């Protein structure tokens, strides 16, 4: 072999040797890579996670979702609907009772005026085998909030067909009609309810409030008197008597009925609110015993039911009268948020802000008040009694 041929043979052998070494290294690196800690968890699963471990991971995830569901349910029972929503969303698709989760989520959306989000959920629930009157009841309320009264009435009638003896069904939908100023529709709801429950004092009370909202005092007083007669000595009887006294202009009678009712039912936040309102209307002034009584009643009402707009409004008005403007504004702003169509909230806020020297905020409230008054005047001119607004409390349904 000549020198050049020998060198070529050695070079080729060397290249083959390097190739073999490179191949071996690549195999070793690949083998090591499959165990590397920086690999993704998914890449490691086939090697590192056993079937038993996978089941444990799934169980932990399900347990976490069930915990979210329980947390959301607990908040819902406390009336903290907005806080409950994130918990329900976190549990979606991971719990054993998806029907209950979806219903509670829709309930929270309705309670927080997110009607557009509630309607698709409830529409899907109504087609399920488990759908009962409560689904159609809540769907009716959501449709009312979304300004779909015809769809609301159809959903309500379906609920009434499924559960015709449920007093709460009629009360909840009638209240929703009040909230969204569909008063004529509310009367139709109550009418159907009384066909099935002709001795329901609560439904007669509801009818009285609806007629009051429609500026029909004679019909209102007739219905309220019927409510009192059907349940003498009950909380609803005292409510009706107090409301009737306010409508009659007989404020002492309204105060007496609210006081007596409060003694028999001290946790009735509507009676407490009516008592405070009646005492203020009767002329209670700071420093008087009646003013202190009104303050105690309204503060208790707000404690018992923070989201009752009438109580927040009356307490804010009372604090404003007493010169406690910071406290007044706090409660009036809550009332404004709970009942954005209430003109009383804006007029009282304007006076409170003016008293603090905050003219810009006062002008803002007056501008909103002017807009609401113009909108209300336009509705009256349209000739539709369904949109006439007023402001009153409704009976608790617990």
- Half-sphere CA count of 271, side-chain side, radius 13 A: 21
Does pLDDT of 51 surpass 80? Answer: no
116 versus 41: the higher-pLDDT residue is 116
What mean pLDDT comes out for the span 38-63? 42
Runs of H (alpha helix) within the chain? 3-33, 41-48, 51-77, 81-91, 98-111, 115-125, 133-145, 149-162, 167-179, 183-196, 201-213, 217-230, 235-248, 251-264, 269-281, 289-304, 309-321, 325-338, 343-355, 359-381
Mean pLDDT over 20-32 rounds to 38
Of residues 238 and 398, more confidence is placed in 238
396: tokens are 């608790």
Residue 353: pLDDT over 70: yes
Q: What percent of the chain has pLDDT over 90?
A: 65
| Higher pLDDT among residues 125 and 52, named by residue | 125
Cα first-last separation, the chain: 109
In a domain, 349, yes or no: yes
Taking a C-beta distance cutoff of 8 angstroms, is the pair 274, 243 a contact? Answer: yes
Q: Is 395 left (phi over 0), alpha (psi -120 to 50) or beta?
A: beta
Task: State how far the Cα of 117 lies from the Cα of 103, in Å rounded to an integer.
Answer: 12
pLDDT band at 63 (very low <50, low <70, confident <90, very high): low
> What is the average pLDDT across 112-116?
93
d(CA 214, CA 124): 35
Any domain includes 290:
yes
Higher pLDDT, 323 or 53: 323
Task: Judge whether 362 lies within some domain.
Answer: yes
Average pLDDT over residues 192-207: 97
Report if residue 321 sits inside a domain. Answer: yes
299 compared with 341, residue with greater pLDDT? 299
Which pLDDT score, from 0 to 100, does residue 47 have? 39
Q: Which residue has the higher pLDDT, 321 or 78?
A: 321
Confidence at residue 341, expressed as pLDDT on a 0 to 100 scale: 83
d(CA 284, CA 117): 45
- Examine residue 358 and state whether it is found in any structural domain, yes or no: yes
- Cα(45)–Cα(34) distance, rounded to whole angstroms? 11
| Pairwise CA distance, residues 5 & 22, whole Å | 26
Q: List CB contacts of 379: < 8 A, sequence separation 6 or more.
A: 387, 388
Counting the structural domains of the chain, the total is 1
Structure confidence at residue 131 (pLDDT): 84
Q: Average pLDDT in the 329-343 region?
A: 92
HEC assignment per residue over 21-54:
HHHHHHHHHHHHHCCCCCCCHHHHHHHHCCHHHH
Range 132-145 average pLDDT: 95
Question: How confident is the model over 157-174, as a mean pLDDT?
Answer: 96
Is the pLDDT assigned to residue 240 strictly greater than 50?
A: yes
Please list, in sequence order, all residues whose beta carbon lies within 8 angstroms of the beta carbon of residue 263, skipping any fewer than 6 positions away: none
Residue 43 pLDDT exceeds 50: no
What's residue 181's pLDDT?
85
Structure tokens at 371: 């807009």
Per-residue pLDDT band for 376 (boundaries 50, 70, 90) equals: confident
Residue 347 lies in a domain: yes
Residue 388, pLDDT > 60, answer no
254-275: pLDDT as tens digits: 999 999 999 989 999 999 999 9
Contact predicate 152/180, CB 8 Å: no
Read off the CATH number of the domain in which 286 is found. 1.25.40.10
Three-state SS string over 94-131 comes to CCCCHHHHHHHHHHHHHHCCCHHHHHHHHHHHCCCCCC
Tell me the mean pLDDT in the region 86-96. 88
Burial 277-291 (b: 16+ CB within 10 A, else e): bbbbeeebeeeeeeb
**Res. 79 pLDDT band, cuts 50 70 90:** confident
Q: Look at residue 179 in the predicted model and tell me its pLDDT.
A: 85
Residue scoring higher pLDDT (29 or 216): 216
Split at pLDDT 50, 70, 90, the class of 177 is: very high
Contact (CB, 8 A) for 224 and 205: yes
Place of tokens 């390097």: 18
The answer as to whether 360 is a domain residue is yes
Torsion of CA 113, 100, 121, 397, to 10 degrees: -40
> Could you tell me if residue 40 is left (phi over 0), alpha (psi between -120 and 50 degrees) or otherwise beta?
beta
Residue 311 domain-assigned (yes or no): yes
Range of the domain at 341: 272-369
Average pLDDT, the chain: 83
- Output the CA angle 121-124-128, nearest 5 degrees: 130
Q: Which of 16-20, 95-99, 203-207, 220-224 is predicted least confidently?
A: 16-20
- Quickly state the pLDDT bin for 368 (edges 50, 70, 90): very high
């Amino acid at each position: 072999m000549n020198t050049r041929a020998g060198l070529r043979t050695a070079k080729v052998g060397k290249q083959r040797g390097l190739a073999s070494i490179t191949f071996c290294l690549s195999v070793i690196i690949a083998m090591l890579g499959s165990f590397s800690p920086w690999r993704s968890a998914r890449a490691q699963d086939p090697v590192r996670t056993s079937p038993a471990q996978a089941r444990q991971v799934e169980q932990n995830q399900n347990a976490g979702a069930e915990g979210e569901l329980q947390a959301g349910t607990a908040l819902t029972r406390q009336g903290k609907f907005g806080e409950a929503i994130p918990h329900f969303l976190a549990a979606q698709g991971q719990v054993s009772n998806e029907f209950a989760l979806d219903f509670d989520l829709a309930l929270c959306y309705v309670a927080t005026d997110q009607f557009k989000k509630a309607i698709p959920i409830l529409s899907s629930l109504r087609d399920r085998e488990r759908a009962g009157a409560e689904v159609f009841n809540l769907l009716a309320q959501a449709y009312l909030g979304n300004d779909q009264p015809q769809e609301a009435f159809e959903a309500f009638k379906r609920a009434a067909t499924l559960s015709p003896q449920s007093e709460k069904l009629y009360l909840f939908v009638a209240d929703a009609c009040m909230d969204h100023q569909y008063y004529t529709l509310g009367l139709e709801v109550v009418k159907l309810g009384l066909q099935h429950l002709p001795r329901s004092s609560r439904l007669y009370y509801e009818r009285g409030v609806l007629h009051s909202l429609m500026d029909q005092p004679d019909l209102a007083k007739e219905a309220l008197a019927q409510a009192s007669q059907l349940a003498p000595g009950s909380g609803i009887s005292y409510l009706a008597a107090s409301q009737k006294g306010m409508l009659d202009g007989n404020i002492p009678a309204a105060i007496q009925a609210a006081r007596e009712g409060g003694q028999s039912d001290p946790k009735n936040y509507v009676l407490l609110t009516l008592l405070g309102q009646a005492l203020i209307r009767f002329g209670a002034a700071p420093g008087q015993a009646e003013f202190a009584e009104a303050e105690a009643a309204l503060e208790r009402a707000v404690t018992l039911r923070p989201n009752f707009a009438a109580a927040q409004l009356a307490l804010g008005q009372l604090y404003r009268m007493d010169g406690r403007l910071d406290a007044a504004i706090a409660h009036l702003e809550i009332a404004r948020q709970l009942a954005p169509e209430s003109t009383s909230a804006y007029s009282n806020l304007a006076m409170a802000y003016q008293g603090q020297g905050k003219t810009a905020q006062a002008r803002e409230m007056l501008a909103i008040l002017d807009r609401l008054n113009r909108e209300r005047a336009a509705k009256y001119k349209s000739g539709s009694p369904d949109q006439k607004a007023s402001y009153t409390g409704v009976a608790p349904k617990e």
